[in-house]
Structure 1
Amino acid sequence: MNAPVVIEGIAYWSRGLPSWAAARDHVHGAAMADDAPARPSPQLLPANERRRAPETVAVALDVALAACQAAGRDPATLASVFASAHGDLAITDYMCATLAGDPRSVSPTRFHNSVHNAAAGYWTIGAGCMRAATAISAAQASFAQGLIEAMAQLDDGAEAVLLVGYDGESAGPLAAVTPSGGLLGGALVLSRTSRAGAPRLRAQLRDGQADRGGTLSRLTQANAMAPMLPLFDALAGAGGVVRLAAGAGRVLELDIGHG
């Protein structure tokens, strides 16, 4: 993973910071928006689907499209990697509780949205994308493992890859296994194509401890996808070296430069 990866597009969403521009400005001292929406409204979906989609799908699709637009890439042309700790934890809790207590009353819509690749499926349908879509779950290491997968696809010949990290609230007994609060999404469009001024990453797996991050990490630290935030903090600031949780005792060390 020593060849540099170019970040063509960046997107972000959390409550109070509904865009990458808002998140970047907040890192540099700007206030959060008082009138920011409580949940995203992904324009890729028809209005009815937009209302029915769970929050996790909504935030994943919102940042995915924003990253593609920032990169100037057609979403239909990109392979994608969607990473979340364990999918939609609130829906999973509902499914487990309902199957245990009254299995005949399971909601078909919630069952449909309970699978881990729900966001990836909505994305490929909404974007009309026939390229490979991968869903990754690796608890706190999910984003780092998703980044490794995206880089591997670039090494295998993909022109560009969309990486999306997202998670929502956990509920019930699962909250003790994977605590998660709030709603968070971040996305990157990655390629090997040099772009003037674009951030570049060099990655290396090492033993060590993950960084704690800065402003964005502190703001949304309760979310299960918060381990990705040291990278977004660094991208909003001066760059440098960032270490993301990649597994037990392991980190993905990212050296951030600019073209």
Structure 2
Amino acid sequence: MSTLVARIEGIGFWLDGLPSWADAVTHAATGTLGAEGGKPVARLLAPNERRRAPPSVAVALDVAQAACDAAGRAPADLPSVFTSTHGDLGITDYMCATLVSDPRALSPTRFHNSVHNAAAGYWTIGAGCLHPATALTAYRASFAQGLLEALSQLACGDPAVLLVAYDTSDVGPLGQVSRSEGLLGAALVLSTDNGDAPGTRLRATLTDGTAPASRGALAQRGAGNAMAPMLPLFDALATGGDLVVLDAGAGRVLRVELAHG
């Protein structure tokens, strides 16, 4: 596979105790935590929609807007890729339990939020964005495949793309099959690399291999979440690392080289 390249214009991040990318960078360097016990906020949504949004949507929109703000890009101007291992496990558990116990009691709002592209839909509506939005999953390779999709869109001519990754806690019997702890989200605004603008350059190549375990501070902090396979990249971005190997599924890895400008 050919190498795909991009420039990272903006980063968004949310994890309990690390509610912003600045907090994540500080934690990676010193181990210090920010405010614990808070909740991500989908500021882009109207108050009524914000109250109805589940945690998966809230964290996805929180980090997406933070990345756009950091990049100085209007959310309405960007095509987007949303990737999540499970979507919202709490809503999935509710749906399964209600269908078994009392199908007529199923909440239309929670049914509406159960689809895998719910966060992408909320984002495009809240942002007034008419550009394409992609929602995908690939189990533990979800982040790597989402990054590949975003980079491919750049290679096909889009000047910039928003990549958003997130997962929630498991609930009920689903936790016995697919473990996930806490709430985690991160986003990148990626653009074509013209070689002149400041920022971190990213070069990604898909190859055979197995992703190594990560000992980075962010990877350890968010290890229990289903989206943890993305955290080695954010540890490298926070600490100035220059190489990350991400699980891309089925005996493949995404080799990501970073050049910090």
Give TM class, smaller chain.
over 0.9
How is 1:15-54 mapped onto 2 (pairs within 5 angstroms)?
15-33=16-34, 35-54=35-54
Asked whether 1:14 is paired with 2:31, we answer no
Aligned residues of 1:169 and 1:182 also touching (Cα < 8 A) = yes
Aligned positions of 1:174-185 closer than 5 A: 174-185=174-185
CA offsets per residue over residues 92-151 of structure 1, 9 Å max, x none?
Answer: 111011112210111111101000000000000000000000001111100100000001
Secondary structure at the residue paired with 2:96? helix
| 1:134 counterpart residue number | 134
Structure 1: distance between partners of 2:90 and 2:212: 28
CA contact (8 A) 2:83 2:136 kept: yes
The amino acid that maps onto 1:55 is: P
Which SS does the other structure have where 2:40 is aligned? coil
> Greater CA deviation, 187-196 or 138-147?
187-196
Q: Distance in 2 between matches of 1:125 and 1:104?
A: 29
Q: How many Å apart are 1:3 and its aligned residue?
A: 4.3
Instruction: Please say if residues 154 and 160 of structure 1, whose CA atoms lie closer than 8 Å, have aligned partners that are also in contact.
Output: yes
Structure 1 window deviating more from structure 2 (243-252 vs 203-212): it is 203-212
Give the gaps of 5 or more residues in structure 1. Answer: none
Root mean square deviation of aligned Cα:
1.3
8 A Cα contact 2:203 2:256, kept in partner: yes
Query: Contact (CA 8 Å) 2:5, 2:193: kept in 1 or not?
Result: no
Report Cα offsets for 1:179-233 as digits up to 9, x if no partner: 1010000000001143543111111111212132300000010000110000000
Q: Secondary structure at the match of 1:17?
A: coil
For 1:171, the equivalent position in structure 2 comes to 171
- Asked if 2 retains the 8 angstrom alpha-carbon contact of 1:86 and 1:138, the reply is no
Q: In 2, Cα distance between the equivalents of 1:91 and 1:10? A: 28
Asked whether the 8 Å contact 2:243–2:257 carries over to 1, the reply is yes
Distance of 2:7 and 2:213 partners within structure 1:
24
Aligned residues: 258
Report the Cα distance in structure 1 between the residues aligned to 2:183 and 2:128, rounded to whole angstroms: 26
Aligned to 2:112: 112
Give the superposition deviation at 1:153: 0.6
Q: Which runs of 5+ in 2 are unaligned?
A: none
What percent identity do the matched residue pairs reach? 61
